[in-house]
Amino acid sequence: MTMAQALIAFLKNQYIACDGVESPFFAGCFGIFGHGNVGGIGQALQQMPDFRYYQSRNEQAMVHAAVAYAKTKNRLQAFACTSSIGPGATNMLTGAATATINRLPVLLLPGDIFARRNVAPVLQQLEFEHSQDISVNDCFKPVSRYWDRISRPEQLLTTLPEALRVLTSPIETGTVTLALPQDVQTEAYAYPSEFFERRTWHIARNRPDRRALEQAAAWIRASERPLIIAGGGVIYAGVTELLCNFVERSGIPVGETMAGKGGLRYDHPLNLGAIGVTGTFAANRLAREADLVIGIGTRYSDFTTASKTAFQHPNVRFININCAEFDAFKHRACPLVGDAQATLEELQTLLGDYAVAVDYREQAERLHSAWDREVERIYELRNEPLPSQGELIGAVNELSSPDAIMVCAAGSLPGDLHKLWRARHPKNYHLEYGYSCMGYEIAGGLGIKMAAPERDVYVMVGDGSYLMMNSEIVTSIQENYKLIIVLLDNHGFKSIGSLSRSLGQEGFGTRYAYPENGALPGDVQGTEVRPLPVDLATNARSLGAHVIECKSHADFVAALEAAKAVERTTVIYVQNDRYQEVPGYESWWDVPVAEVSTKPQVEVARAQWEEKRQQERYFL
């Protein structure tokens, strides 16, 4: 077999098993062919049609689709992605970082330079004066969990098992990159037949150290104001029901990270909603006073910890339940290194009839109810002349099927969604916020729909992200995967515009308008700007989507209902108010302000920043 044929044949026979359920690990291969992979991987995929090939329009987008697919499948199934040499390969770098930062499996197969070198420099080759063994694919090393260059066909025999070990590991998973020299892809080798026998990779539910469990149970019993932070590990480990039972028995309230939202239904009386920078006043108030924080499957990003200002109790302690030792030890925690299901089961047994004090539980339930009323208030806003983002989120939330999946990634939408979206099941809320990558949304929506074709998929995307990457609308049409894309147009970068104003910079460079006197206008110009003649609705039509244009909240509601009956990808286009914002609720994010400036408002912002920074903590 050629090296490329052997690679595809091996991938076809890889299976994964968790809790006794076994399934193929790879769902197929996304790709765009060029001279660097068409005669190798391209020929192998043509020869083996049972390993389905999907044509993409943008290499970054296809990796995003693969990432979203893996997340929807709880990391139990993944895609390979193949590209040509050069720009096709480097286009995948952003997707590779997205996968690794979010700890989601994806296998990248970029074409590479000739291993035999005699015809170098080949088309699109980066030459390096001090080595002949470097190509642009070396850029993937820092954003990959495993990286290799296959310079001889037989190297697959040792590389592919290692690649699958990493891809199927809950701890190590992320991007695996195998750089494939274009000549070696086509070279034949007599591979041993046993290499292609079916292999099953088992997901272990490792149990934590008993001593650490006993210490954790003692800390919980000694605490007066414990708080759970539910991270993405709650959903990946499939412990949403177990968490609900643990919370009901103990009375410990829960705050949710971006990845963990949906781990507990929104209407559970002890679910305080989002925590941190984009959090609710309910979760942030209890976080500020918590004397014990129990993190389950969270890596404590700065958004979760509000740049280390969220937890202000002088003697706060942490218990971290995580399969990754790296995360379990953060904040000088009592580390429960193990699977979340095994850990919660043993911890619950050790705690027995433990429960928090009645007044603490009642306080948490009152905060839950107060927050629910705040969400309702924002849902019922009828801002004029343009609707607010919050009320549009409310319409999508209330009019979409309870089984639907909503996807978003970047801009001001994630913060508002984290606060306002009422998650009804563990997959109802799909946010890529580890990398917060603009352009993920539509490609991610495609991957989600492929993973869950029985569910409606709502892509919520701003005009900034839409303009960065809308190409996979075409792929959704080609493959008949219907998306409902809610395109919110506020004529610029709404999120960074708001951040810029908070830094005293007046929204500089964040509006879509013609420059005046050689400079782009900021927010101080108000409505006295010349808007760009861009028609996003017409653009979406040109890509094959059905488009419904809206001018008001009532139009938007009607469009959401009408979109359900359309058989192909539908874009609901609506303009929304750039300045009407969902409040921040008793939290802060550390974005440094210029220390010196000729602008007084920057100096004011700097003084405020220096004051807030005093609240940042080390947990030593």
Residue range 468-474: mean pLDDT, rounded: 97
The mean predicted confidence, pLDDT, of the chain is 96
pTM for this entry = 0.97
Residue range 268-295: mean pLDDT, rounded: 98
Residue range 110-137: mean pLDDT, rounded: 91
pLDDT-based confidence at residue 363 (cuts at 50, 70, 90): very high
Q: What are the residue ranges of helices labelled H in 380-412?
A: 389-399
How deeply is 115 buried, as exposed, middle or buried, from its count of CB atoms within 10 A (0-12, 13-18, 19+)? middle
Closest CA to 61 of 437, 562, 584: 437
CA distance 249 to 193: 54
Residue 527 has pLDDT above 90, yes or no: no
For residue 316, CA distances in Å to 82, 240, 297, 330, 363 come to 48, 26, 19, 13, 19
What pLDDT, on the 0 to 100 scale, is given for residue 411? Answer: 93
How deeply is 20 buried, as exposed, middle or buried, from its count of CB atoms within 10 A (0-12, 13-18, 19+)? exposed
For the chain, give the percent of residues with pLDDT over 70: 100
What pLDDT, on the 0 to 100 scale, is given for residue 391? Answer: 97
CA distance 271 to 316: 21
Residue 54 has pLDDT above 90, yes or no: yes
- Tell me the β-bridge partners of 109: 82
The string of DSSP letters for 517-542 reads TTB---GGGTT-S-B----HHHHHHH
Task: Report whether 419 contacts 410 (CB < 8 A).
Answer: no
What pLDDT, on the 0 to 100 scale, is given for residue 389? Answer: 97
- Tell me the β-bridge partners of 428: none
Over the stretch 249-267, which tens digit does the pLDDT of each residue have? 999 999 999 999 999 999 9
- Residue 233, SS3 per DSSP: helix
pLDDT-based confidence at residue 40 (cuts at 50, 70, 90): very high
pLDDT-based confidence at residue 125 (cuts at 50, 70, 90): confident
Amino acid 319 reads I
What pLDDT, on the 0 to 100 scale, is given for residue 383? Answer: 95
Query: Element (H or E) spanning 180, and its range?
Result: strand 175-181
Token pair in block for residue 57? 């329009």
CA distance 58 to 11: 23
Coarse DSSP helix, strand, coil percentages of the chain, rounded to the nearest 5 percent? 40, 20, 40
Task: Report whether 438 contacts 494 (CB < 8 A).
Answer: no
What pLDDT, on the 0 to 100 scale, is given for residue 169? Answer: 97
Residue 180 has pLDDT above 90, yes or no: yes
Residue range 240-256: mean pLDDT, rounded: 97
CA distance 331 to 342: 23
CA angle 492, 493, 497 (to 5 degrees): 110
Q: Any idea what DSSP says for residue 258?
A: T
Place of tokens 């941190």: 276
CA distance 20 to 608: 55
Least trusted range by pLDDT, from 289-298, 422-431, 501-510: 501-510
For residue 561, CA distances in Å to 114, 459, 570, 572 come to 54, 15, 12, 11
